[in-house]
Structure formats: structure tokens, C-alpha cells
Amino acid sequence: MAEQINTDEIAALNTEILVRGIIEQTKSPGLIWAQLDATSYRATVDDSGTIWDFLITKSKATGEGYNFNLDILKNATLNNSIKEESSSTSEGDPRSTGVEELYTTVESVILDTDENKLKDANALIFNLPNCR
């Protein structure tokens, strides 16, 4: 007899597929993220007049690890909120939603962009003619 997948498993798979899609869009770079503060980022997409906002945050968990939260807003109304605790999951863990991986991806893209801006500014300064 074939094993049936319950609705919780289907919901978890759908959530992971959604988050993995956002990760791929971030890497491609189909999604451009802006840093709001030290641990929060936002990306906005205008899809034919429908505004989608993606907000991802990291906060210290009670005990060890961190909490990661992804809020998805459609026209400024909360559409979905996905949470993950780093201390309770690891990549490949069936309870992993991928939100921690998304946060890490966004953070590395932002840091890489900032480093490139710094390199560009340094190159400009070092290539300026001497004013003496």
C-alpha cells in the first residue's frame, strides 16, 4: 500500500519550494535586496501593478542560535510569514524551510555588492590626476 502524504507535509514542501525559488531569484539577480538595518533586508517587485514585498530578518533566539523570519506582503498586506530557528534545523532537515539559507544568501549578495562599490571608489580615487 502506498504511503499517503499528509497536508502538513505538502504545506512544508510548498513553503520550501517558494523559499528556494526566492533564493534562485536572489542569486540570478532577479531580486534586488536593500539592507534596512543590521539584520533586516527588503526586496520589492512590481508584477503588473501588484506590489510584492519580501522582508527577511534575523534575531537572537532564546538559548542558542537565531530566529529567521521571511514576511511576504502583497500590496502591503501580509500574504505569508515563514519562520525558522537555526538551532533546531540544519540543511536537509525535513523541518528546514530554507529561510536561514535565504538570509545567508541575501547577506552575502549585499556584502559582495558593498565590497565591489568600495573597490570601484578606491579605483576612482587612485586614478585621479594629481592636483599639484
Tell whether the model's pLDDT for residue 53 goes beyond 50: yes
User: What is the β-pairing status of strands 66-74 and 33-37?
Assistant: unpaired
Backbone angles phi, psi at 118, to 5 degrees: -65, -45
pLDDT tens per residue across span 63-119: 788 999 999 999 999 999 999 987 655 555 556 789 999 999 999 988 876 566 666
Cα 67 from Cα 63, distance rounded (Å):
11
